[in-house]
């Protein structure tokens, strides 16, 4: 079946109009911060070209570093002992620290620069995700549901297994795993913008009014349940080894931080397949139509195939509804609000 036929068949399952309607412009209050064009001005075509390089360089370096740690006996958990956890944390989070520092120097939009309160709130979201919600969901998947994943792994119809012992092999398997997982994520994400029952769990992420690397982790606990389903099912189907899972996680974390960053990175050949910051910033646009494009957080190829891709790089501001930043309480309570109240925020 062609991609056009596939799109037509799948679109029949979706309503013509999203259930979450575009906000009435009369209800939109003026933002606390004025519209701000990109603060960073490319001084030359060469400078603009250079900003096409950071994303592939950072993503590849992160995957290679994790792959080296896996394949090197000197860096194995047995050899490092108690230092193994510290090395893992450094390899996973060093790209985030690099991006946050870069945002202060090469800012794309001054209106998006974070203050101390923003940083504290972002750290809170990362902490609760890492030490509360993800562990809880992991325990949830260790129930009989985890037995289902084991059964899928043992009886998979997929004729290949994602396992490798070399650095290039691990990177290739990680890209395959991420691409397959994002196919499921793409449809979950797309449906969350069309169905109010799903939007209420996703809206928290779209009510951010500033883009920054740490903001990729601003996910409502209930949404973790849906988003945490796509990767395990793919890893089970492909029989991915722990080594592949580790490199795939490095790619996933890194892609999420990069695409949410407040940096003037430009799209390149790399971004025919991988989502660029320009692509994802547009998805976070306060403009309703723009926010219903570019659903892939790390992989953009599914948007290209299913007709939701936009190459526009223009965005005045990000946010949802009235465009106001919600309090921390509202961000958590939002999923329990009545539909009318969610639409009025």
Q: Nearest 5 degrees, angle CA 116-CA 118-CA 121?
A: 110
pLDDT classification of 309: cutoffs 50, 70, 90:
very high
pLDDT cut 70: percent of the chain above it? 76
| Residue 122, φ and ψ in degrees, nearest 5 | -65, -40
Residue-wise pLDDT for 89-115, tens only, equals 787 889 999 999 999 999 999 989 999
Environment class of residue 190 by beta-carbon count within 10 Å: exposed (0-12), middle (13-18) or buried (19+)? buried
Q: Is the pLDDT of residue 282 over 70?
A: yes
Closest CA to 189 of 344, 343, 302, 333: 302
Q: Is the pLDDT of residue 263 over 90?
A: yes
Tell me if 227 sits within 8 A of 219, measured CB to CB. Answer: yes
Measured CA to CA in angstroms, residue 151 lies from 139, 142, 156, 233, 278 at distances of: 18, 13, 8, 11, 40
pLDDT classification of 217: cutoffs 50, 70, 90:
confident
Environment class of residue 298 by beta-carbon count within 10 Å: exposed (0-12), middle (13-18) or buried (19+)? buried
pLDDT classification of 151: cutoffs 50, 70, 90:
low
User: What is the Cα–Cα distance from 231 to 327, expressed in whole angstroms?
Assistant: 31
Closest CA to 280 of 268, 295, 265, 266: 295
Q: Check residue 26 and give its pLDDT.
A: 43
pLDDT classification of 39: cutoffs 50, 70, 90:
low
Mean pLDDT of 206-221: 90
Ranking 91-95, 118-122, 262-266 by mean pLDDT, the lowest is 91-95
Q: Mean pLDDT of all residues in the chain?
A: 80
Q: Check residue 64 and give its pLDDT.
A: 93
Which range, 42-56, 64-78, 235-249, is most confident? 42-56
Residue-wise pLDDT for 55-73, tens only, equals 999 999 999 998 988 887 6
pLDDT classification of 33: cutoffs 50, 70, 90:
very low
Q: Pick the more confident residue, 263 or 237.
A: 263
pTM: 0.82
Q: Is 274 helix (H, G, I), strand (E, B) or coil?
A: strand
pLDDT classification of 150: cutoffs 50, 70, 90:
low
Ranking 21-25, 138-142, 146-150, 246-250 by mean pLDDT, the lowest is 21-25
């Amino acid at each position: 079946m062609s991609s056009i036929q596939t799109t037509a068949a799948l679109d029949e399952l979706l309503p013509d109009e999203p259930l979450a309607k575009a906000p009435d412009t009369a209800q939109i209050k003026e933002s606390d911060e004025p519209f701000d064009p990109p603060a960073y001005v490319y001084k030359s075509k060469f400078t603009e070209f250079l900003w096409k390089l950071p994303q592939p360089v950072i993503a590849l370096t992160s995957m290679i570093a994790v792959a080296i740690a896996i394949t090197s006996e000197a860096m194995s958990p047995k050899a490092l002992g108690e230092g193994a956890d510290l090395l893992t944390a450094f390899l996973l989070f060093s790209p985030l620290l690099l991006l946050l520092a870069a945002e202060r120097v090469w800012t794309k939009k001054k209106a998006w620069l974070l203050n101390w309160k923003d940083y504290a709130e972002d750290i809170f979201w990362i902490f609760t995700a890492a030490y509360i919600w993800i562990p809880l969901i992991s325990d949830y998947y260790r129930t009989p549901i985890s037995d289902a994943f084991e059964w899928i792994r043992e009886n998979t119809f997929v004729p290949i297994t994602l396992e490798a012992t070399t650095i290039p092999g691990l990177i290739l398997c990680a890209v395959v795993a991420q691409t397959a997982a994002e196919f499921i994520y793409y449809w979950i994400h797309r449906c969350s913008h069309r169905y109010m029952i799903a939007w209420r769990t996703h809206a928290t992420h779209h009510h951010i009014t500033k883009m920054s690397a740490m903001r990729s982790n601003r996910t409502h606990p209930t949404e973790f349940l849906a988003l945490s389903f796509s990767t395990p099912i793919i890893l089970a189907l492909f029989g991915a080894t722990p080594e592949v899972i580790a490199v795939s996680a490095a790619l996933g974390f890194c892609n999420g931080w990069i695409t949410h960053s407040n940096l003037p990175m430009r799209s390149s050949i790399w971004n025919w397949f991988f989502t660029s910051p320009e692509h994802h910033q547009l998805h976070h646009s306060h403009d309703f139509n723009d926010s219903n494009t570019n659903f892939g957080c790390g992989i953009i190829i599914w948007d290209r195939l299913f007709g939701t891709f936009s190459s526009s790089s223009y965005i005045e501001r990000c946010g949802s509804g009235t465009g106001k930043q919600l309090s921390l309480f509202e961000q958590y309570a939002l999923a329990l609000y009545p539909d009318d109240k969610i639409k009025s925020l």
